[in-house]
Amino acid sequence: MMPYKISAKVKLYRWMIPILLIGGLSSCGSSDSNSNSPAPAPGYTNYNTVGAGTASSPYQLFTAAQVEDLALNSTASNSYFQNVCFVVMNNIDFGQQALQIGTFNGCLNGQNYAFENISINSSDDAVGVFINLNSQASVTNLSFVNLSISATGSTEVGVIAFNWSTLSEISVLSGSINGSGSSVGGIVGKNYGTIEKSWVNGLSISGTNEVGGLVGENDGVIENCYVGAATVVNATGNAVGGLVGENQNSISISYALGSVTGQSVAIGGLVGENVNDLSQNITNCFAGASVTGPGSSNIDYVIGEEEGGSTAEGATYVSGIACNPSGSCASTVYSSNPSTFYYSSSNLTDFSTTIWTFNGTTFPTLQ
């Protein structure tokens, strides 16, 4: 993903019920038809001053006020934005104001621009810039810079609290996400969809259980993603990982650096706890995070704890990383390589050079 442009266990909440009743809707962006979407609510029209809301002529977003009006229309009780498309036209500075978009099932293309300086403080269940992305939603090519989320007493916390959609080329470049509950992630709190070509760096993430640099709890698919070296992940409870806190589905062609600290069990450089009966559900991944915990039990360079017969095929760790203050580590399963091994595309053959950039002197980055 190119840097953003410089400007010239399912829980059901009341707001989720309408989502579960929606069916048979075409994917946003697949058609220019907008016939399934009612007119915007009276008074909330700043976002549609330019564009028609179709795939070929999306509503153009220039200002924080336009995005905030979009948020006002995105409650769970309406059906706005089904098949409605938006495009971000420049970096948008929210001036430390809150932004929480409720249930969204349209499409939003960030064009590699950024939402900057969003600050959210909430005690609600499910907290994020997007509370819920429905399976019909599409959010792509969008960065978040200097993001601050503080969720007290909440579960499912991240840029996106719940994801059922396909996310592509989403990045979080700086800030903090702090949740006092479980399922806290740098991009997604709880993932049921697909996350691809997305990354986190320069972010501090903390929570209680199921805390990860990219995703708190993964029940979906993660592919071609990474967490950079300037990322800090902390948990006071169980299941904390550099990439994912708790994994119950598939992770491939991804890696995690940075630091991971846990105070209990299931602490891993890549995944804190892997609970799935699928064999080899973590493939072609590596970890180079500094991993710290209270002892050597259920703490590992790669996966802190394995349950249900799951295994990691081809997962490795960067040698020289300490698992706890004494330098001991429980890992006996995964092989290690020096950091220079991961600088070359000839060694990481599953990391496609059409998706990843190799410069020969550091870890690969997304194009």
pLDDT tens readout for residues 158-211: 999 999 999 999 999 999 999 999 999 999 999 999 999 999 999 999 999 999
pLDDT over threshold 50, residue 22 = no
What's the pLDDT score for residue 162?
Answer: 97
Residues 308-321, mean pLDDT to the nearest whole number: 68
SS3 category, 340: helix
The 10s digit of each residue's pLDDT in 72-119 is 877 655 556 777 899 999 999 999 999 999 889 899 999 999 999 999
- Please, is 135 exposed, middle or buried when counting C-beta atoms within 10 Å of its C-beta (0-12, 13-18, 19+)? middle
- Assess whether pLDDT exceeds 60 at residue 148: yes
How many helices and strands, by DSSP H and E, does the chain display?
2, 38
Question: Residue range 239-248: average pLDDT?
Answer: 96
Cα→Cα distances 147→64, 110, 205, 238, Å: 15, 16, 11, 25
Higher pLDDT, 326 or 195: 195
pLDDT for the residue numbered 344: 95
Domains of the chain: 91-366 (2.160.20)
pLDDT for residue 153: 76
pLDDT for position 327 = 47
pLDDT band for position 320 (50/70/90)?
A: low
Q: Is the pLDDT of residue 146 over 60?
A: yes
Which residue(s) pair with 199 in the sheet?
A: 171, 226
| The pLDDT value given to residue 335 | 78
pLDDT band at 280 (very low <50, low <70, confident <90, very high): low
With residue 18 as reference, give the H or E element that holds it. Answer: helix 17-21
Instruction: For residues 289-307, give the mean pLDDT.
Output: 83
Q: In what order do the strands lie in the sheet with 271-275?
A: 101-104, 130-133, 160-163, 188-191, 215-218, 244-247, 271-275, 303-307
* Residue 92 three-state SS: strand
pLDDT confidence band for 13 (50 / 70 / 90): very low
User: What average pLDDT is seen over the chain?
Assistant: 84
